[in-house]
Structure 1
């Protein structure tokens, strides 16, 4: 007879058996913990890998933009700053770079969320007369900026290949068009070419920096404590113009649109973060490269008894010879300087020409083939560069570099003011418009730059200043004063117009999905 049980029989384990069971339970628990840790590790590694791949996808535009911050104009300003004022003007480079980052972030937002570049937004918003004036001013800025690249390339060719300046100008015309032809295959090839050239430039200058003994304490002092030594006006203007470049705002707002992004808030935010990080990394590299140039000039040229010329006469054209004088045992320094100058000038010419295409098409709405755009943009700048190279010579070319960079500095508000108006407008940006605190801070910075430029141009004292040039009270000086008042009045009127003119158009930002 089979007995039935309402519940299973109790299993009574001995003390030894219970220890074995407990040991097995601990082993199982340990295995589960290890498996959970492995799964977490794989999860984190997978996220990091996915994030890195996403960053690589968006890499390129930031490098193309940042090359403009280590061009021949920067070299000239850095060498003048280091040779004449040692480390005292490093703070100008640093804060100009910080301000450039802030404005570039706004241009990323405009291009990504409103789906238009800054030039296109200006064409849609302003009446024809104002639009054409803005185009001419920004085109003048780019011609002045590109002039520094072409002259820098020519000086590098003279150093490396003993070519006359005008021959280097013509060679720059050809090489820039050849590199720009990479657009025919894919814009990524052009970006990769510029990144490779930029790395070449940075490596050569870092090697040169390692050859000198930088005074770290004085360098940090010049970085942290602002000062404006007498006679530094033109150099400061040049450094500001070379770091806060209006053309980069047009370029960045267009280049961020070359990556395909889904029109959802989450995907757009992810693309925004990638673009900002991708831009900041080369910006840091560009700042360190500028530090290297200033340090090289500060250590080798500042109050050096071996140098017989005055510090104001030290420039790109004679830097190579001065390096051989100061460091005769390091003959490679001159070659490295020539290579870095050649690489930076060439890549900056490519970047500037590409920005010129965006400005012409955006403001004027001209549709033309790629080869014609490249040819037209390069032709606009090659003529003034040839004139400077033929008539001014080496010493005149160096002064032209500083003046060109100063012109760029004075045109900064004509790009930053419209950018601020558009990015704070709900018509253009929708829910992505600038927060109020960003609005206040950025307008304070933008107006501060305009006021600083006017002071440095008109109010500062010293040898190389407008005030000194117009102080003789001769007939020519009086005419100069009248012209300065007229130009200054038009300048102020144009800025007030840009501040108060309303935003009058709607963008495609409303098509963004949740």
Structure 2
């Protein structure tokens, strides 16, 4: 039997200052103790019986992770998919969410089994030049996602203030979420998770209310989920649906969030137990996110599919177009949309701050105070976002074009989160008995290749439309060569890891 996963952290030496230790996602005092963990004496090899109380204590990280499936960028993809493709891409939304669940469960598996998150492991397993490139890519992905999320919140604030507050003012207000995050974090992980649960509930109620107001066709909705359809006219929306689901920073985030629970990794049964409960709560969280995305897609499918404005709908004008079509009611649909959008934007910007702390601390081993890292993370995103808001405040078309560029930025970064994850989670030295088996490994790589190819299509289509002139073409080609070369290097590390593991296994057998 393969050895259990080892904790690669060095113990604190006698006389060594605490600040000299490696950065950790959570200090021991911050982790949640699972009730009954000491009373289950049979947990060394087998997981204890299922407990609803333990499921409740493990519940939280999956819902924080699910926020990335509900950010303003995803909502924009949903409304455009519904307006242009109608109900026909609902099946793809469902399967894309399932793919997202698979990726996130691998991320959780890595974090639980090793006690380290993906950024920390990348720092240990890759040479300095590759590690720094991966860190830069992760930071760029995070900044791009944060710009979309902050702009989404600012649009909602502008709507709720009846246009009194301009976009840049909404950005400044949204920047204050950093302090909300720090305030809640001081009261413990559970308080922070409860806050996100409230925001998810606000989104669910808001978009379900819109669903009830617009009354989408139930039969077409069901057929859209069950019967796959794809045409040349909807291929771009299909690519957008898949591309929005996998968020690079979220892969790093989930592997860190699961460490908020105190799990005894020296006992196989404890790790199995944690993985089981995290699997249940992550599935439930993404089921909720699928319901919310489904509501948004079907609302805009019912309202605008086949209309003249279908191709011009974005976050900026979506609420007003809904208001023009459906009017008031008990509560104007414009404000219902804005409340849901604000909850999506605020929750995703705070999780972005959280992810930024783990990414920076993990890759660079920075043992900074949390408020310092949070301020650095927020500044990296807020400053460019304010500039964007000032430039694009009066131009809806330009803002939509910017969003396309940001989606491309996310697509470019996906391989640099997925490939290290799949390499590391299959490495016996890292995972021990919890490494993924051949079947799951094959399925995961097939899924990863499909996601990368789909996003590659988006990149190709985008650059074919924007590249104009020999100089730009040369720059794009040079970038592409470097980009593909780095991806091939990361993939080649998988074979290096596999060869190393086989040699180690043979050595153990001989001994």
TM-score bracket, normalised by the shorter chain, equals: 0.7 to 0.9
Could you tell me which runs of 5 or more consecutive residues in structure 1 were left unpaired when the two chains were aligned. 1-47, 471-475, 507-514
1:495 alignment counterpart: 487
For the pair 1:358 / 2:358, whether they are aligned, the reply is yes
2:12 alignment counterpart: none
Q: What is the SS of the residue equivalent to 1:355? A: helix
1:6 alignment counterpart: none
Q: Structure 1 residues 141, 226: CA separation in 2 closer, same or farther (over 3 Å shift)?
A: farther
Aligned mates of 2:160, 2:117 — CA distance in 1: 39
Contact persistence 2:107–2:251 (CA under 8 A): yes
Q: What is the SS of the residue equivalent to 1:377? A: helix
How far apart are residue 229 of structure 1 and its match?
4.2
1:326 alignment counterpart: 325
Aligned mates of 1:83, 1:450 — CA distance in 2: 26
2:335 alignment counterpart: 335
Alignment coverage as a number of residue pairs: 446
How far apart are residue 177 of structure 1 and its match?
2.4
Aligned mates of 1:444, 1:373 — CA distance in 2: 36
Aligned mates of 2:49, 2:272 — CA distance in 1: 19
1:425 alignment counterpart: 427
Whichever of the two has the greater Rg, that structure is 1
Contact persistence 1:108–1:275 (CA under 8 A): yes
Contact persistence 1:108–1:256 (CA under 8 A): yes
Q: Structure 1 residues 49, 271: CA separation in 2 closer, same or farther (over 3 Å shift)?
A: closer
For the pair 1:467 / 2:464, whether they are aligned, the reply is yes
1:384 alignment counterpart: 384
After superposition, the C-alpha distances for 1:59-87 in whole angstroms (9 at most, x for unaligned) are 11111110111110011111111112212
How far apart are residue 96 of structure 1 and its match?
1.8
After superposition, the C-alpha distances for 1:100-148 in whole angstroms (9 at most, x for unaligned) are 1111111111111111100001000111111111111111111111111
1:45-60 equivalences in 2 (<5 Å): 51-60=51-60
Contact persistence 1:117–1:253 (CA under 8 A): yes
Aligned mates of 1:477, 1:288 — CA distance in 2: 45
1:75 alignment counterpart: 75
Contact persistence 1:76–1:402 (CA under 8 A): no
Q: Structure 1 residues 91, 477: CA separation in 2 closer, same or farther (over 3 Å shift)?
A: farther
Contact persistence 1:152–1:345 (CA under 8 A): yes
Q: Structure 1 residues 61, 89: CA separation in 2 closer, same or farther (over 3 Å shift)?
A: same
How far apart are residue 275 of structure 1 and its match?
0.8
2:122 alignment counterpart: 122
Contact persistence 2:243–2:454 (CA under 8 A): no
Q: What is the SS of the residue equivalent to 1:124? A: helix
Contact persistence 1:152–1:342 (CA under 8 A): yes
For the pair 1:479 / 2:482, whether they are aligned, the reply is no
Aligned mates of 1:328, 1:280 — CA distance in 2: 36
Aligned mates of 1:231, 1:345 — CA distance in 2: 30
1:8 alignment counterpart: none
Contact persistence 1:205–1:293 (CA under 8 A): yes
Q: What is the SS of the residue equivalent to 1:211? A: helix
Contact persistence 2:177–2:350 (CA under 8 A): no
Q: What is the SS of the residue equivalent to 1:293? A: helix
Aligned mates of 1:164, 1:235 — CA distance in 2: 30
Moved more, 406-415 or 133-142: 406-415
How far apart are residue 378 of structure 1 and its match?
0.5
CA RMSD of aligned residues (A): 2.2
How far apart are residue 223 of structure 1 and its match?
2.9
1:169 alignment counterpart: 171
Moved more, 117-126 or 73-82: 73-82
1:273 alignment counterpart: 276
Q: Structure 1 residues 85, 378: CA separation in 2 closer, same or farther (over 3 Å shift)?
A: same
Aligned mates of 1:455, 1:406 — CA distance in 2: 11
Aligned mates of 1:410, 1:231 — CA distance in 2: 24
Contact persistence 1:103–1:249 (CA under 8 A): yes
How far apart are residue 466 of structure 1 and its match?
3.0
2:35 alignment counterpart: none
Aligned mates of 1:215, 1:252 — CA distance in 2: 36
Q: Structure 1 residues 169, 232: CA separation in 2 closer, same or farther (over 3 Å shift)?
A: farther
1:311 alignment counterpart: 310
1:299 alignment counterpart: 302
Could you tell me which runs of 5 or more consecutive residues in structure 2 were left unpaired when the two chains were aligned. 1-47, 502-511
Moved more, 106-115 or 227-236: 227-236
Q: Structure 1 residues 233, 388: CA separation in 2 closer, same or farther (over 3 Å shift)?
A: farther
How far apart are residue 316 of structure 1 and its match?
1.2
1:7 alignment counterpart: none
Q: Structure 1 residues 384, 282: CA separation in 2 closer, same or farther (over 3 Å shift)?
A: same
Moved more, 310-319 or 100-109: 310-319
1:42 alignment counterpart: none
Q: Structure 1 residues 100, 484: CA separation in 2 closer, same or farther (over 3 Å shift)?
A: same
Q: Structure 1 residues 222, 486: CA separation in 2 closer, same or farther (over 3 Å shift)?
A: farther
Contact persistence 1:241–1:406 (CA under 8 A): no
Contact persistence 1:148–1:405 (CA under 8 A): no
Contact persistence 2:160–2:338 (CA under 8 A): yes
Moved more, 225-234 or 354-363: 225-234
Aligned mates of 1:323, 1:102 — CA distance in 2: 35
